[in-house]
Amino acid sequence: MTDAEDQESRRPLGITLLTGLYFFFFLLSITTYGHPFPFLGSIYQGTSAKALVFFDSLICIYLLIGIFKRQELTWYLLLCYNLFEIVNTIINLTFIKPKEIARIIGSSVDQGALAINNIAAALAILLLSQFIYRNRKYFNNTDRFLF
């Protein structure tokens, strides 16, 4: 095998780390099954929350496999998913009041800490999206389907 072929077949470290990060996101998503789920300014509970978590987990597993296979379509889907997560966070911060969260979890919620944590998470996703955008060249598998 020549050096050029070896470089082409070797997975870049950034893509390996991105795969691990989205595996963590998948685990994080699936572990919220059965708990209240904030989505677009409302907190869902029961069956609707379980359905939302199930579909979020399916999306995460699709993205995980797409990153692993370096699928070009996944590059677009990652950016769309991350943008949606940022918008969802902003909407939730705007419309879900700390009193409602406190009522559901049964303890007080510091409004300042809630805002700072959510804004920090949104900024982290924005930085992650910038990394994904800049590394488009690694998503070179043009197959339309994962399997």
The overall average pLDDT reported for the chain is 91
42-66 confidence digits (pLDDT tens): 999 999 999 999 999 999 999 999 9
Task: Domain count for the chain, please give it.
Answer: 1
Cα separation of 8 and 3, whole Å?
Answer: 9
Cα separation of 144 and 142, whole Å?
Answer: 6
For 65: left if phi > 0, alpha if psi spans -120 to 50, otherwise beta; the answer is alpha
**In terms of residue numbers, what domain contains 117?**
12-138
Q: Evaluate whether residue 29 is within a structural domain.
A: yes
66-108 confidence digits (pLDDT tens): 999 999 999 999 999 999 999 999 999 999 999 999 999 888 8
Q: Evaluate whether residue 90 is within a structural domain.
A: yes
Cα separation of 41 and 117, whole Å?
Answer: 17
| Residue of 25, 2, 54 whose CA lies nearest to 128 | 25
What is the pLDDT at residue 146? 80
Q: Evaluate whether residue 67 is within a structural domain.
A: yes
